[in-house]
A = this chain, B = another copy of it.
Amino acid sequence: MASTNPARGMRDFLPADVRKRNYVIGIIKEVYECYGFEPLETPAVENLETLTGKYGEEGNQLIFKILKRGEKLRQETGDGRQELKESDLSDLALRYDLTVPLARVVANNKNELPRFFKRYQIQPVWRADRPARGRFREFYQCDVDAIGSSSMVVEGELISAVSEILKRLGFQDFTIRLNDRRVLTDILNTAGVSVDVHSDALIAIDKLDKIGSEGVSSELLSRGISEESAAMLMQIFAKTQEILNQEKEINRAIVANLINIVSNETLTELGHVLKFAANAPILIDPSLARGLSYYTGAIMEISVPDLAGSLGGGGRYDGLIGMFGKEQIPACGFSLGLERILVVMDERGMFPPEIAESAPADVLVTIWSEETVAQSMKLASELRSNGLRVTLYPEPDKLGKQIKYADSIKVPYVCVLGDSEIAEGKVTVKNLRSGVQETVTSADAAELIDRARAV
């Protein structure tokens, strides 16, 4: 017999889970639409060549690849062949993030899309990562991106929108860490790290949160960065970290600290982002690196105290769309991690009661006998046309069993339609919480349940 578990690292979402997910997604959509972002959806399956080379070496390994089909596969797997490579066997792959597909869509639809294309996209992505607590192989990203402008107004709006979402969800203690890839480049140059190992250095620096400065130092060495450079990098980050641990005027102090290292243009732009997202809790953090290789300017990451990873992150990627089209088009975006948000909200009990404890229906209609099914169905239909969510017991059964069933699925009301009620043209409404019941017309029943629901 086949296993009934979902595949490794994948999850089934039962109704209570889906309701929580949809609640969060609903707020995210609402805020993005309020900011003028439009919905986009791309297929789960992309041509393999669309994805390869976009996420760095580590990312490439984690792409789920789809087996070629039919004749194309048979050509590769015939008898007596040489060693096969993944690219011999696969032509398609599962979506790995929402940014690369967006870049492809923008390049492909240049003439239909507005000059400034503001889109949001909430879809799952797949990564063949080793599953761990809070790390899944299928998870949702909630992305928002603005295409076509190099102005820092974009960063400001994105940060504002994301902050508003988190506030509406009930987060009050989040911080948006802000940095710029060019800050890191200038720091790496100052520390004497040669350009060809910059991206290696960034992968190591990105782990500062998780493995600490000693861990990063030794990874820097193993990635071919000299002892002197590594030490100088750690010294610079230690100094800014020292400022970050203090309370007052943090952002200004850090910028002052960077003045001799970072170019004026970058500092000015960072200043603009700070000004344009004035209401958001931003902290400049020069050690923030972000894993993905396509960022070119500002980078952001959201932290809350009780989560090791981030709730989301993003940045500017002015070079990515040019990899698909003839034209370089500036772009900047933010991605919220739905699963992380849900984990923290669950642990903190942040869901409103109507979401956390919702029932599948407002009322259950009983079925008395084979002969009265049609009457019960008619009553259900009347109650529904009054806006109630009505579940019909699916078969004639003992009344006690039907009521017990309603109670077990937390439905608060039962409408009993027995022979005597049918004869009178009435229905008995039973409130399962109070135990009170009354026999009324179906219109009154609808009103009674509806009124109680609104309280």
Contact = CB atoms under 8 A, between A and B. Distances in A.
A10 B43 contact: yes
A257 interface: no
Could you say which of A7, A49, A128, A373 has the most chain B C-beta atoms within 10 Å of its C-beta?
A: A7
B15 A119 contact: yes
A83 interface: yes
A89 interface: yes
Contacts of A395: 149-151, 153
A389 B29 CA distance: 12
Contacts of A49: 2-3
A325 B34 contact: no
Interface stretch (A100-108, A182-190, A222-230): A100-108
Q: How many copies does the complex hold?
A: 2
B43 A138 contact: yes
A124 interface: yes
A269 interface: no
A39 interface: yes
A41 B13 contact: yes
A80 to B, nearest CB: 8
A434 interface: no
Nearest to A1: B324
Interface stretch (A71-79, A192-200, A441-449): A71-79
Contacts of A81: 81
A118 B391 contact: yes
A392 B390 CA distance: 44
Interface string A25-36: 000000001111
A360 to B, nearest CB: 5
Contact of A86 (B73, B114, B381): B73
Interface of A: 1-7, 10-15, 17-19, 21-22, 33-47, 49-50, 61, 64-67, 69-70, 73, 77-86, 89-90, 92, 94, 101, 104-105, 107-109, 112-116, 118-119, 124, 126, 128, 137-138, 146, 148-151, 153-154, 156-157, 160, 275-276, 278-279, 323-325, 360-361, 364, 367, 373-374, 377, 381, 384, 388-396, 405, 408-409
Given A7-B43, A13-B41, 8 more contacts: A6-B43, A35-B391, A37-B360, A44-B44, A45-B126, A61-B70, A118-B391, A148-B394
29 contacts: A2-B47, A2-B324, A3-B47, A4-B324, A6-B104, A7-B45, A12-B108, A15-B39, A15-B40, A18-B41, A21-B41, A34-B389, A34-B390, A44-B44, A44-B94, A45-B137, A64-B67, A69-B128, A77-B84, A80-B80, A114-B405, A115-B405, A115-B408, A118-B391, A148-B394, A151-B394, A151-B395, A157-B392, A276-B374
